[in-house]
Amino acid sequence: MADTLFRSTMTLLGRTAGVDRLASPDWPRLMACLLADQFDREIASDRTYNGPSLLIERKELPEVKTKPEPRACYGLFHQVRTKSGSLISIGDRTYRFIGYEVPNQTGEPGRCADILALNDEDGLTVFELKLRGNDYGPFRAMLEGLDYLSSFLCSGNLQKLSGEIRQIYGIELMRNVGHEIVVLADPAYFERETQRRLQSDQWDQLKNLVIPSDPSVTIRFAQAELDSDGYFQADVQWV
């Protein structure tokens, strides 16, 4: 007889080896384990993008973007690409921007990762960028990033993306390393969310959450001010 969901959940909680279970509440670990279980299921499925390319060359200037959020996002991407060789440092982490509005799901043209990057370990990082007018809170933005990242890591897309990264950058994309989701927003977005939804202890549990999937995914949150043109500035700080 198959295990009940409750028994399976007990098993999932055992996957967080090394965690001080007395000092850490169960709900963040349970959430991470449930997300990990679903993430593993998604990357094992066939979700190959049928378009011609994932890393689309973007040559237009940021001012062509008129909506605030795409403008802020592409302004940052363009600035980092043209002024610092596509590299951006946040704290002690360095990321290489490799794509903007990157498609990943056939038949869903609006479902694109805002910015796709490689991290220090040559794993993938999906940047989800939000402004204070966006009703997606940090948790919902994290789920959106996981949706995109799981699509990139399914076998067909991984093979396709690896080939494009190798051809363009001469870098081997590593699957079995830590990948990341970075929710990047203006400070007013996080101030609003703290007031509306997040108690300080809950926020501390969500920041730097590690999802113990195979491969693992770390959730991070960062903030940057907007400049006079409405672009995110490249001076990005962890929240």
3-state secondary structure at position 183: strand
| H or E element in which residue 157 lies | helix 155-169
Report the C-alpha gap between 133 and 76 in whole angstroms: 18
Average pLDDT, the chain: 87
- 32 alpha-carbon distance from chain centroid: 15
Q: Up-side HSE of residue 185: CA atoms within 13 Å toward CB?
A: 23
Q: What is the mean predicted confidence (pLDDT) over 202-227? A: 88
Phi, psi (5° rounding) for residue 171?
Answer: -120, 140
Report the C-alpha gap between 181 and 107 in whole angstroms: 23
CB 164 within 8 A of CB 53: yes
Both ends of the chain: CA-CA distance in Å? 46
| H or E element in which residue 181 lies | strand 179-185
Looking at per-residue pLDDT, the higher value among 117 and 108 belongs to 117
Q: What is the mean predicted confidence (pLDDT) over 82-101? A: 96
Range in 15-24, 147-156, 166-175 with the lowest mean pLDDT: 15-24
Q: Does residue 117 register a pLDDT over 70? A: yes
Q: What is the DSSP letter of 4?
A: P
Looking at per-residue pLDDT, the higher value among 234 and 198 belongs to 234
Q: Does residue 16 register a pLDDT over 70? A: no
Q: Does residue 22 register a pLDDT over 50? A: no
Report the C-alpha gap between 125 and 136 in whole angstroms: 19
Q: How far is CA 80 from CA 85, 96, 103, 149, in A?
A: 7, 9, 20, 22
Which pLDDT tens digit goes with each residue over 35-79? 988 999 999 988 889 888 999 888 787 777 888 999 999 999 999
pLDDT at 86: 96
Strand 210-211 to strand 217-223: parallel, antiparallel, or no bridges (unpaired)? antiparallel
pLDDT at 196: 64
Measured at the CA of 180, the angle between CA 166 and CA 67, to 5 degrees, comes to 90
Q: Does residue 163 register a pLDDT over 60? A: yes
Rounded to 10 deg, the angle between the 26-43 and 138-153 helix axes is 30
